[in-house]
Structures are given as C-alpha cells and as structure tokens.
Amino acid sequence: MVPTASRTRFAVWTGVGLLLAALVLSATSLILNARNTALAESEDQVRRFASGAESAMNRALLSFDVLLASTGDLLDLSTSQRSELGGRGARQLLRSAARQNLMVRYVALMDEGGAVVAASDQAGLHAARDLPAGFFDEAMGQAAPVLVASAPTVSFTSSERVIFFARHVQMPNGRRLLALAQVPSSMLVSVLMQGTDIPALEVTMEHGAGDVLLGISSRGEMRRAATVHPLGEQPQPPDGVSGPQVQRWHQPTRLSGTPGMVVARPILYPDLWISASLPLREALDNWRSERNTIVLVALLFGATLLGIAGFSVAYLNRMHRARRAMAQSQATLEQALSSLVTGFLLLDAEQRVRQWNLRFEEIYPWTTPSLRVGMPFTELLSLCAPYQVPEGSDAERRHWVEQRLMLQRTPRGTHEQEMRNGHCIQITERPTPDGGMVISYHDVTDMRRASAEIENLAFYDPLTGLPNRRLLLDRLHQAESAAERSGERGALLFLDLDQFKTLNDTLGHEVGDQLLQQVARRLSDSVGITDTVARLGGDEFVVMLRDLSSHDGEAAAAARRTGEKILHQLNRPYQLGAYSHQSSCSIGATLFGHKPQAAAELLKQADIAMYQVKAQRGNGLCFFDPGMQEAISARARLEHDLQEGLAAGQFVLHYQPQFTLTGALVGAEALLRWQHPQRGMVLPGQFIGVAEDSEFIIPLGLWVLRTACEQLALWQQEPTLRDLHLSVNVSARQFHQPDFVPRVIQVLQETGIRPHLLDLELTESMVLDNVEETVAKMHLLRTKGVRFSVDDFGTGNSSLAYLTQLPLHQLKIDQSFVRNLGVRHTDDVIVQTIIGMARNLELEVIAEGVETAEQRDFLARHGCDLYQGYLLGRPMPAQELRQLAQALVPSSSA
C-alpha cells in the first residue's frame, strides 16, 4: 500500500499539473478569442467606414453632377449664341454657380473642338491644357449625358493635384458642349476620409478597371500605383442584395499590397468604386500587447502554483510527522475525552494542571506548545495574557491574571471571556472533593452572534451595515437633546446618488449593490467617530454631524467642509468588478440644536435642500432655507393654477406672422399665452418648465394643437387667410406619447382643415432621442399631409444623417444665430451653411428673431426663403392678424 504522505504528495503534484494544463489551455483560448475579436472589430470598423465613405462620395459626385447639368439652364443655351457665352454675364453666372459648391475650383464649357467657350474664372479659360490626355474625347464620346471622372493630374495654374468631372450638354443646333468642373484632390480626400481615426486605413476611389483616382491612408495620401487589380472583376452580391464586396483577411490591400482585408463599394456613377483596406499587421497591434500580457500573467501564475505546491508538500510532510507522534503519545487521553464538545481542564489541590482535552487546545491553541502535566495554572494564565491584552504593558497583563484568579477563588457559576479572534467562551468552574477544580470552556459564539444578528437586522442596513432609519431617528433625537443642553450645533446631510437608476438598469442590481457598499465605506471614512452615517434605503444616505460649534455660522462652515470632503470622496472612480464607474451625489444640509425640532422635520428639510441640488443637475451641496419650502409650495400652487387655468379657459394663442422677402404674408406661428386673473399675461417661459415636469404639458399641448387647427378652419372661410400656414410647437414628452399620432389625426378629422397648412415644429434633441420612433410617427402623419419643421436648427447635437431620413419640409434658423449676424463671423458662416445645405436638400428655410433690416438683408443675400421676427410683426391675437392680412391685400383701385 502506498503510504499516506506519498499519496498526498502525488495528489498535490497531480492537481498542480492539471491546473497548469488548464492554465495553458485557458491562456491559448483567451489569446485566440482576443485575436478573433480584434479582427472582427477591425472588420466592423472598415465596413462602417466604407458605408459612410460611399454615402459621402455619392453626395459629393451628385452635387458635381447637378452643378454641371444645370449649366445649360443657367446660361440658357437654348437661346444663347456661342459668342454670348464668352461674355462677362456668362462668366458671372458660372462663377455664382461654382461658388455654391465649396469643393469646385472653377466650371468651364468646351466646344467639340476642345476650345473653352465660357468659364467661371480666368483659370478656367486654360482648362484644355490641364485636362489629362484622352479625357476630353472620353467625356464627349459618352452616348448619354453622364458624369465622367478624369485621372488625377497636376493643375498648370495652381500646381495642386486635381480631378476633372465632366458631362456634355446639348445645344439647340444639336451640337454638344462639354461642361467640366475642376476639383482639388484634397477636397475629395476630406470627403472620402470623413475625419477617420482608424490607424493605417487605406482608401481608394478607382475605376472598375483598376485605374486609381485617389489613394489615401489615414496617415495621408500615399498613391503608389496608377493601377491595381480591378475591383470590377470581384464577385458581386446575389441578385436583389445590396452591399459591399468584402475580401476576407490575408488578401492584399489596395495600396501597400500587404496582407489585410478589403471592403469595396460601387458608387452611384458607372464604373466608380470606393475601397477601404486595413493591413492585418495594424489590425492586430492592440492584440499583440494583450497577448503578451496574457502570456506574462500565465507564466507568473504558473510559477506561483509551483511555489505553492512545493511549500504545501513540505508543510504536509511536517504536519504528518507531528500528527503521528502526537497520536502515539496521547491516544489514551483522546479516547477518554473525545466525546466532549466543550473544553476541559482539571486542576489539582495545588492549582496545577493535571489533564485537558483536545477541545481545550482548539480554544487556546497558543498554549499547546507549553502545556504539560504539573504546569501551574498561574503560568497557563500568563501564557494567555498576551493574547487577551495584546497591546497592554506587563503590569496590565499581571493585573489581568490577578483578576482571573480572583474569579476562580470566588466562583459564581459561570462568566464569559471575549477572545481576540472574536469568539466568546463561557467558563464554568466547579471545585472537586480533593480541593482541586474542574473548569469547562464552552464556545457560545454562535449563540451570541445570533442574538447580535437579530439586533443588527432591527437597527442596521443588511447591505451596507450602516444604521437604518429607525436607529438614525433614535440617535438624532438623542443628539438634539444633547445639543439643547450643551448649545453645540449639529448638522444633518441628506445624500442622494446621481444617475443611480441608470446604473441599476444598465448593469444590474448586483453592480448597483457594489456601488452602495463602496459609497457606505467612503462615507464612514469621511466623518468622525462621534458622527453617524445611515442608509435610509435605495441610494439615499444621511450623515449626522455632532458638536460642530455654538455659533450658527461656524457650524454651517464646518458642515460645508465635511460635505465638500464627501463630494470629493464620492466623485473618485469606483471599480465595480470589471466595470469602472464615475459617480456623483447631491447633498442637502440643515442645522439643528438652535431650536427644538422633530427628527422627521429635520430629515424633510435636508431632503428639500437636496432636491434643490438635483434641480441644478446634481453634484453639489445646498443648505436648507425657509425660502426653499416656499419655492416648493409656490411650484405646487403653480401646478394647481395651470390645471385650473386650462379648465377655466385662461389660455389663449397669439400668432406671429411669417413673410416672404417681398413682404407677402404666408403663415404664422402659434404661441401660447396664459391670461391669469391675478398674475396677468404670463409668458411660456414662466410655466412651460413646470408643465413639462408635471406631465401637464400633454393635455396642454393637445389643447394648443386643437385650438390652432380650429383657427385654421376659421381662416379657410376667408379669402385673405385661407392659404396661410400655421406652425405649432410640439413638446418632446407629448410627441413620444404612444397615442400621439392617433390624437393628431383625430383633431385633423374633427376640425376639417387642409392638413398641408399645418406645420408641426420639432426640436433637434427630440428627433435624435429615438430616431426610429420619430421617423415612423412622422411618416404616418406625412401621409395625411401634415408638414414638419426642425425648430432651433443648429443649436443641438446636429447630425446631418437624420436630415436624409426624415420627411422634413422646413428648417428654422435659431434666433441666437440671427441675433449675431454681422457681429460674430462664426454665426455668419453657420447661417450660410444651414441655408446652403437646406437648398441642396430642397428644404424651405425660415429665420426667426429677425429684428433689424441688416439681418433681413444678410439672410436675403444668401437665399433665405421666409422671415419671422419683431422687424416684421410681433405675436398678436387672431383678430389683429386678420386685420394685418387685410391691410396687406392691394385695393381694387390699385
């Protein structure tokens, strides 16, 4: 039979071998998974980039195509003679058209002989010498007027690399002219790259035959070859399926030819492709660092396992020898006392140790090396003194021994002894007939812990171990009584974690509980030993500070310092398992001790102060002030007055007119006013925020919509007003109601208006909040004829992508931009950009807040369609708008 020690060693080394094998397999799996993940992420990045580059280039080429195609209509070729095309008027028209597209250097027209007959500037008159060889014949030889792109060439005039785009236009006599535009390669590079930050990405625009027009990497232009392997020979997607051509990894990239992945997309124009290539080496850069880290950790862990195994085997060998010797010398005693569950010690008449059991050694393990028969009990107690009074002096330890001997000389049945390891031992001493003593040691730790747990559940929070509401109120009551006697002020801090619900909803309650536990520890470390930190429930905590000062100002300053310290501590990052989380909190504070107050009232005051911080976006400290309570009461009264006002018909609509540049009245915007019997005329800024927070905005918004539609129905009966458009603002909370679309349709049907006269104004943030839902609702209402406008355009997180998805009719330039026209250059550029973008997207543009003639003239020069503002008309009742419309109608005599 194999000895026990040998079997143990064999088991240890076998286990270590299995663990090492598992470690190698796990590390290998992690490395392979990390590599596959890195490749998948890189492939996804390249796919998304290729899709965006395709869309961007399609828009750019479409703008060139539209520009060149419109030259015929622009110059009125159907009536113009060739001699007129070289005139100054034709040049000015072409220059104006070219300036609408910021990427185009110039536009020129060439006849069938290759001579330039018209150009937008002087450089365009020499276009023939800049054209690549054969491009003129290729463009003129197209059977149909389609856009053709040239190979890159260097401009003779500007010495920069350019690409020509051309298409032929038809003259009335049947002859053709070639309209061409010179575009710098750098402009197309910026469109193609879209500000990408993918390292080593290679991007090309090329003909299907492999002629490279543009070749760029993320580090700059790196076109190395005029031709590459034709993309047009790659396999196409299945019929009816749109998508990029994707070559798998280990294919040569388009420019450098190194192994990588290629995603190619054909664009709208024939035989033009966009490709994105990512070399395999750069795609795996981050993975290599991760692989090296995994290998290093695995090696360290393996070395640690081997070290632990060697130590364990040595330790087991030593333990085996000790146990065998002990078993041989104490077999008889263990058999006699093995049935006892309590520690046992027998003293003789001279107070010397005669016998003990194993349980006694388990309770007092430090006595085992020195414990022997005949050992004086005093010596045994001296061995125990350093463990019972670990930080005491020799005199204190001797005092402990004397106290213990005194208990033994006057036994009172039982007494308890608190051990250093937290156990509680119940000691019972009984004399023997021969003058000795039997001492039993019973471990009652579990019983005491059960009792303490019952008390803990009643007064402490089970998750954080902090006092709960019951214990806090008791301590707060005691602190108030003490403060009244001593005159020392205290403070109550009410804390609420910001955005805690978001963390719970996204990462789960287990992660949220970890955050609460770490917050509890940080709070406990931030206050003194006489202060109390409690958890009321959820993410609400309370800190009670005592004995701050006898003066209110000093006490408030001390409380603020503690509150700011807490804010700093709770703002530090948290490590929640695998997640790193940044959090903050809102703190409301109130003082106590200066007058009698109930504990519940103090909590209410601190809670009110905390919500003042919440109203300011949190992460701050605010003291309770009686004015806060008054503000809350005033807000409650305002909510009540709003509900009564709607029921009593106190709300009215005023209408601000909208004009064309010629002064024609074409529409109005409905603006809400509140005619309060005591407050007078109340503007929306004073009550809309309260209506939004209390959800009163939903019935109020429905009333505005219905009233506006009823007014439209009345205008339809008057010749001067029947074609006016009416714009109505829609709040985000109202728009996202599930029944918003059915309610609007119901109002349209009940009022009988022509739906195309109703414009619903949405904000950018509302549109971007849930694009899918927004698009679906807008399309449903658009089928009914309702038109949509984006209000305050340019002030939010604008995304040009959504403009192409939404069925919009109009963009409204925010008055903050209009106000600074001619004052701040950046606002001038923004307004010009919005107008140009809207015109390219065939959207109507209206500017609000027009207050000066200079602002109107600036907007008119850049193509704004409609105007609204105090310069043209203030908001007015419907009757005044009717009178204004009648005044603008020319008299019959005129």
Other C-beta atoms lying within 10 Å of the C-beta of residue 116: 19
Name the pLDDT band for 666 (thresholds 50, 70, 90): very high
Is residue 327 classed exposed, middle or buried when 0-12, 13-18 and 19+ CB atoms within 10 A define those classes?
Answer: exposed
CATH topology of domain 464-624: Alpha-Beta Plaits (3.30.70)
The top-scoring range by mean pLDDT among 265-274, 403-412, 698-707 is 698-707
Tokens of 622: 């605010």
* Helix H or strand E segment including 221: strand 220-221
User: Which of 78 and 543 is assigned the larger pLDDT?
Assistant: 543
Q: What is the pTM of this model?
A: 0.42
In DSSP notation, 282-323 reads HHTHHHHHHHHHHHHHHHHHHHHHHHHHHHHHHHHHHHHHHH
Tokens of 45: 């990045």
Domain 340-449 annotated CATH 3.30.70.990: no
Smallest CA-to-CA distance from 163 within 104, 81, 116 is with 104
Boundaries of CATH 3.30.450.20 in the chain?
70-188, 340-449
State the average pLDDT over residues 644-655: 91
CATH topology of domain 70-188: Beta-Lactamase (3.30.450)
Give the C-alpha separation, 503 to 619, whole Å.
16
Question: Could you report the per-residue pLDDT of 234-284, keeping only the tens digit for each?
Answer: 544 444 434 556 556 778 888 888 888 888 888 888 788 888 888 888 888
Question: Could you report the per-residue pLDDT of 322-377, keeping only the tens digit for each?
Answer: 777 776 666 655 555 556 668 878 888 888 888 888 888 777 887 888 888 888 88
Smallest CA-to-CA distance from 876 within 608, 695, 670 is with 670
Question: Could you report the per-residue pLDDT of 760-801, keeping only the tens digit for each?
Answer: 998 877 766 677 888 889 999 999 999 999 887 766 555 566
Per the CATH hierarchy, to which homologous superfamily does domain 698-884 belong? EAL domain (3.20.20.450)
* Helix H or strand E segment including 69: helix 4-69
Name the pLDDT band for 2 (thresholds 50, 70, 90): very low
HEC readout, 738-786: CCHHHHHHHHHHHHCCCHHHEEEEEEHHHHHHCHHHHHHHHHHHHCCCC
Boundaries of CATH 3.30.70.270 in the chain?
464-624
Name the pLDDT band for 757 (thresholds 50, 70, 90): very high
